[in-house]
């Protein structure tokens, strides 16, 4: 069984989604199915079919979340004592060519959200940064250009 690395916040987010699906969404869906059934002929009842489809999605997502939580390997970045980039690191980098600074937080695939600066440790940028120290350069070959990031700061929060 392959473990899924998660930060405590990522684990909690999955846990909260599971609880919301079980305690709010599923009961609401059961009610929608009951109401649609009350409308009569099920073969031509679009509301009923939509509610049953939603039920299938909810049950699938609940099963998926349970499996992910069972395989979770919760790693608290604040307890990591190292100087090199690794899981949970908050890394400030300088794009050497564009002369722009970026901040990335390296997380597992389940938590990655580029808009929030959270990148997966398995992404090209994540892989290039792993093991780097302040002052090191990470080179990422992207389709448009080769990106060169200089590591400016590393912290584990």
Contact yes or no for 150/96 (Cβ under 8 A): yes
Mean of the pLDDT values across residues 20-34?
A: 95
Phi-psi region of 72 (alpha: psi -120 to 50; beta: other; left: phi over 0): beta
What is the structure's pLDDT at 157? 84
pLDDT of residue 13: 94
The reported pLDDT for the residue numbered 144 is 86
Q: How far apart, in whole angstroms, are the C-alpha atoms of residue 59 and residue 18? A: 10
Which pLDDT score is estimated for 66?
96
Architecture of domain 4-74: Orthogonal Bundle (1.10)
The pLDDT of residue 17: 96
103, pLDDT greater than 80: yes
Per-residue pLDDT band at 81 (split at 50, 70, 90) = confident
Is residue 32 helix, strand or coil?
helix
CB 87 within 8 A of CB 77: yes
With a CB cutoff of 8 Å and minimum separation 6, the contacts of 54 are: 29, 32
In terms of pLDDT, which residue wins out, 107 or 40?
107
Domain segments of the chain as ranges:
4-74, 77-156
Report the distance separating Cα 108 and Cα 6, nearest Å: 6
Distances (CA, A) of 80 to 10, 42, 134, 155: 17, 57, 16, 9
Whether residue 62 has pLDDT greater than 80: yes
Which of the residue ranges 4-18, 27-41, 92-106, 127-141 would you say has the lowest mean pLDDT? 27-41
Residues whose CB is less than 8 angstroms from the CB of residue 62 and which lie 6 or more positions away in sequence, other chains included:
18, 21, 22, 26
Residue identified by tokens 């004592």 is 81
- SS3 category, 74: strand
Topology adopted by domain 77-156 = Chitinase A; domain 3 (3.10.50)
Give the list of residues 6+ apart from residue 49 with CB closer than 8 angstroms, or none. Answer: none
């Amino acid at each position: 069984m392959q473990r899924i690395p998660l930060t405590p916040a990522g684990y909690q987010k999955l846990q909260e989604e599971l609880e919301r699906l079980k305690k709010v969404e599923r009961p609401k869906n059961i009610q929608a199915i009951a109401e649609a059934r009350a409308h009569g002929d099920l073969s031509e009842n679009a509301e009923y079919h939509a509610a049953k489809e939603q039920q299938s999605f909810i049950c699938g997502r609940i099963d998926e979340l349970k499996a992910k939580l069972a395989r979770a390997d919760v790693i608290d970045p604040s307890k990591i004592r190292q100087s090199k980039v690794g899981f949970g690191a908050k890394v400030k980098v300088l794009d050497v060519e564009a002369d722009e600074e970026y901040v990335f937080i390296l997380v597992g695939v389940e938590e990655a959200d580029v808009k929030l600066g959270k990148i997966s440790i398995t992404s090209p940028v994540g892989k290039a940064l792993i093991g780097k120290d302040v002052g090191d350069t990470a080179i990422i070959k992207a389709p448009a250009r080769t990106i060169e990031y200089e590591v400016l700061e590393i912290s584990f929060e």
